[in-house]
Chains A and B, each alone.
Chain A
C-alpha cells in the first residue's frame, strides 16, 4: 500500500518537474509566433493572439466587447479620453464614452509565421558558405557553414582517432606507451588554456577568419583516441589472429575487423563530436569575424545585436537553431543515451 502511494507521489513529482522543464521551451515557441508588440504584453499569454481590427471610414480600429447600459455589445474602439474609451456600437452606429474597465478587446488566436521568415532572411552576408553564395539568407549560410564544418570535423576526428587508437591498442612500436601517456596527460587541460596559443598560432599562419581555423583544431582529438583505444583493448584478439594467419595486412584488419566490431564506440564518438562542435561557441567566436563564415551559434549571437529587444524575432531565430538538433535527438535518443552509458564518460 505504502509502496503504491510512493509510486503515485513519484509520478506526481515527475509531472510537476516535467512542466517546469517544458515551460521555457513552450514559452520560446509561443513567443516566436507572436505578432510585433504582442510579446511585450502583461500579463503574458501562453497562446499567441492579436486584437481583431475593424475598418471604419478607412481607418483600422480594434474590435472589443463593452458593457453599455447593462448589455454586452460589440464595439469598435475609436480612441481614449480621460473619461474612458470612446467607442462606436457596431449594431446601432452610436458613439459614446465607456469606462475603460468595461471594455474587453477582442482577441483571436494568431500565429505570426512571418517572424520565422524575417529571422531567416534578416542578415545577409555578402559572400557566404565557401564563397558560393552571394547575399543569401543569413541563417541558410550559417546552417550550411555549420553542416560543412561539423561534418568535416566529425569524419576527420573519428578517422584519425581510430587510426591512432588502433596503433596504440594493437601495434608495437618504440615509444608507444610514453606517447600514449602524453595523450592522457593533456585530457585534463582546460580548453581555454589551449585557446590563446592556438589563436596566436593561427594568427601567425594568417589563417584566422578561414574555414581552416574552424576545422583543423577539431580534427585531432586526444579524448577520441583515448575512448577508442580503451574500446579496442576490450575486443577479442581471436578474429584478427585468424585474419593475420590468412595474411591480412594491418590496414585490412583495422578496416574489416576492428572497425565493424566497434560500431557502438564509434557511434558514441560521432555523437559527442557532432554535438560538441555543433554547439561550440568560444573558439569560432575568437577566430571568425566574417559573417559569411559564421556557424549557427555565431550567427545567432550576431542576430542578437540589431534585434536585441524584438523578442519574437529572437525566439524565432533560437527555435530555428534549436529544433533540428532536438528532432534528431528525439529520433535517436535511445542510441544516444545507450552510447553515453556504454562509454561511461562524457567529453
Chain B
C-alpha cells in the first residue's frame, strides 16, 4: 500500500517545478482559457492600455496624437502667473480636496458601524429585525438612494429641514444648493447608506470571535464595561478595523460618482465634484480621453501608494493574537 505511488505522485514528475496538482496542459488550458481570455481582453489589456492612453491627446473620433507626459504636466504642474504660484489645472486640486473632504466621513462611519455591531451583538429579542433594517440601504440601488436623499435634502419641503426646524433651527442650510453644505449633506447620506452594511457585519463577525474567557478574566480583575471595550474588544478587533480602513480608503477615492451625477451635477460651483466625477466629465462628457486617462492613472497611483502605506502602518498597529 505504502509503496504504491499515488496518481498524483506519478503525474507530478511531468512538470517538476509546477507544485501540487495533476492533469495535462490541454486539460488545464480548457479549464483556464475561457476566463483567461476574458481577463486578458477586459482587465489586463485595459490596465496596460490606460498608461498608453494617458500619453496622447485624443477626442475619440480623431486620431490620437502622442504628447508625451504633457497631460500629467497640465494636471499636476504649477507655474508662476502674476508673481503667484498657480496650478495649471486648479480644478483638479479642488476636486482632490473635495474627495478628501468626503472621505472625512470614513472614521465617523467606522465608529458608528462599531457601535452598531456592539449593540447588535447582544442576545436580545428581535435583534435580527434591527440587523436587517440597518443593512437594508446597502442592497438599495445607489441611484434610488440618491433620488431619495435629494428629496430629503430639499430645502423647503424636505424631511431633514423640517426636522431641524422642529428642533429649533430658524434658517436650516440649503444643503445641495449651498457650496458649504453640499459636502456635509453627501457625508450624511453616505453614513445612512453604509453604517449598517458590510463594515458592521464584519465587526459583528469579529466580535463573535472574541473568546468569552477574556472578558471573564477581565471582570475578575475588576474591569468595567469601558475597560473591557478599550483593552479587550478594541485590540482584538484591530485586524478587522485595519481591513475596513484599507477598503474604505480605496473605495473613498473612487466615490461620489452616482451622488454627483444624480443630485448636483458636481455643483454648486464644483463643490461636489470628486476625482471620479472629474474623470467621467473629462473622458466621457468632454471627450478628452487622454486627459481623463491621465487622471485615472494618478488616481490609480494614489490608491496604490496609500494601500501600501496603510499596509506598512498596519503591521505596526494591528494586534494579532
- Among the listed stretches A71-79, A95-103, A126-134, A274-282, which one makes contact with chain B, having 4 or more residues with CB under 8 Å of it? A274-282
Given A199-B284, A341-B201; A21-B196 close (CB under 8 Å): yes
CA distance in complex: A241, B15 (Å):
19
Contact of A57 with B by CB under 8 A: no
Contact of A167 with B by CB under 8 A: yes
Is B157 a contact partner of A281 (Cβ separation < 8 A)? no
Interface code A241-283, partner B: CB below 8 Å = 1, 0 otherwise? 1001100001000100000000000000000000100110110
Is A197 a contact partner of B31 (Cβ separation < 8 A)? no
Report the minimal beta-carbon distance from A228 to chain B, rounded to whole angstroms: 10
Is A179 a contact partner of B36 (Cβ separation < 8 A)? yes
Q: Which of B251-284 contact A (CB under 8 A)?
A: 253-254, 257-258, 261-262, 276, 279-280, 283-284
Contact of A90 with B by CB under 8 A: no
CA distance in complex: A344, B157 (Å):
42
- A198 interface neighbour in B25, B42, B132, Cβ under 8 Å: B42
Contact of B18 with A by CB under 8 A: yes
Chain B interface residues (CB < 8 Å from chain A): 6-8, 11-12, 14-15, 18-23, 25, 27-29, 31-32, 34-39, 41-47, 49-50, 53, 60, 116, 118-120, 122, 124, 130-137, 139-144, 147-149, 151-152, 154, 156-157, 159, 162, 192, 196, 198, 201-202, 204-205, 225, 247, 250, 253-254, 257-258, 261-262, 276, 279-280, 283-284, 289, 292-293, 296-297, 299-300, 303-304, 307
- A321 interface neighbour in B28, B60, B118, B143, Cβ under 8 Å: B143
Interface of A is mostly: helix
Is A330 a contact partner of B132 (Cβ separation < 8 A)? yes
Q: Quick one: closest A residue to B158, CB to CB?
A: A44
CA distance in complex: A324, B150 (Å):
22
Is B47 a contact partner of A186 (Cβ separation < 8 A)? yes
Q: Quick one: closest B residue to A309, CB to CB?
A: B154
Is B39 a contact partner of A222 (Cβ separation < 8 A)? yes
Is A188 a contact partner of B307 (Cβ separation < 8 A)? yes
Is B43 a contact partner of A186 (Cβ separation < 8 A)? yes
> Which residues of chain A are within 8 angstroms of B147 by Cβ–Cβ distance?
300, 304, 314-315, 317-318
Is A300 a contact partner of B143 (Cβ separation < 8 A)? yes
- Among the listed stretches A12-20, A47-55, A81-89, A106-114, which one makes contact with chain B, having 4 or more residues with CB under 8 Å of it? A12-20
Chain A interface residues (CB < 8 Å from chain B): 6-7, 10-11, 13-14, 17-18, 20-25, 27-28, 31, 39-44, 159-161, 163-164, 166-168, 170-174, 176-177, 179, 182-183, 186, 188-201, 203, 216-217, 219-220, 222, 225, 241, 244-245, 250, 254, 275, 278-279, 281-282, 285-286, 296-297, 300-301, 304, 311, 314-315, 317-318, 321-322, 325-326, 329-330, 333, 337, 340-341, 344, 346
> Which residues of chain A are within 8 angstroms of B53 by Cβ–Cβ distance?
196-197, 200
Is A217 a contact partner of B141 (Cβ separation < 8 A)? no
> Which residues of chain A are within 8 angstroms of B36 by Cβ–Cβ distance?
164, 179
Q: Given known contacts A301-B143, A326-B140, what 7 new A-B pairs fall within 8 Å (CB)? A: A11-B124, A172-B28, A188-B303, A196-B292, A200-B60, A201-B41, A201-B49
CA distance in complex: A239, B141 (Å):
42
Can you show 16 pairs from A to B with CB atoms below 8 A apart? A18-B134, A25-B136, A27-B151, A160-B38, A167-B31, A172-B11, A173-B32, A177-B19, A193-B300, A199-B284, A304-B262, A322-B140, A326-B136, A337-B135, A340-B198, A344-B205
Is B60 a contact partner of A203 (Cβ separation < 8 A)? yes
> Which residues of chain A are within 8 angstroms of B116 by Cβ–Cβ distance?
17
Q: Quick one: closest A residue to B15, CB to CB?
A: A172
Is B130 a contact partner of A220 (Cβ separation < 8 A)? no
Report the minimal beta-carbon distance from B115 to chain A, rounded to whole angstroms: 8
Is B159 a contact partner of A300 (Cβ separation < 8 A)? no
> Which residues of chain B are within 8 angstroms of A192 by Cβ–Cβ distance?
254, 276, 279-280, 296, 299
Report the minimal beta-carbon distance from A278 to chain B, rounded to whole angstroms: 7
CA distance in complex: A325, B137 (Å):
11
Is B139 a contact partner of A275 (Cβ separation < 8 A)? yes
> Which residues of chain B are within 8 angstroms of A200 by Cβ–Cβ distance?
49, 53, 60, 289
